[in-house]
Amino acid sequence: MGARSAGADSPAPASPDLLRAVFRQHAAGVAVITARGAIPVGFTATSLTSVAAEPPLISFGIGAGSSSWPVIAEADHVGVHILAEQQRELAETFARRGADRFGPATSWRNGPREVPLLDGVNAWLVCRIVARVPAGDHRLVLAQVETGGHTSAGRPLLYHQGRFNALRD
């Protein structure tokens, strides 16, 4: 019989609450995904994943009930932004329902393919959407990288235990 880890809980049945509790223990990088419809849309994502190097593919999840989903569902391209540790307020703005995400407090410009690009981020990509896959109450979006850029100076913003955090040495 193996030793039980200190503080380990007894098994719990699968549920949305269990999944949320488990993933609060998983630190994730913070990204903002943007797209252009009649108006620009965007949302904060912690589900961004590098899928393949050849061809360069990424994926992210978006709630089917998200205010951004109708535009992402029809968009050809998206912008992907890796946030810097000092961009906590930007992450909160793009995570908050009903926020004026592209208002005066947000510095952005039209990038390649007319994708809204946020200023001051650690890195950005413009990607062509190649698939949208139903996944429970979310959609998994697969996109191929077309162009991008990065700075090497910034430290990333992280999401852990329900809060935005910075790396510590």
Summarize pLDDT for 93-109 with one digit per residue, the tens.
999 999 999 999 999 99
Mean pLDDT score of the chain: 92
pLDDT band at 8 (very low <50, low <70, confident <90, very high): low
Between CA 57 and CA 128 the distance in angstroms is 9
pLDDT at 86 over 70: yes
pLDDT, average across residues 71-88: 97
pLDDT at 28 over 80: yes
How much is the pLDDT for 5? 45
How much is the pLDDT for 2? 47
Task: State pTM to two decimals.
Answer: 0.90
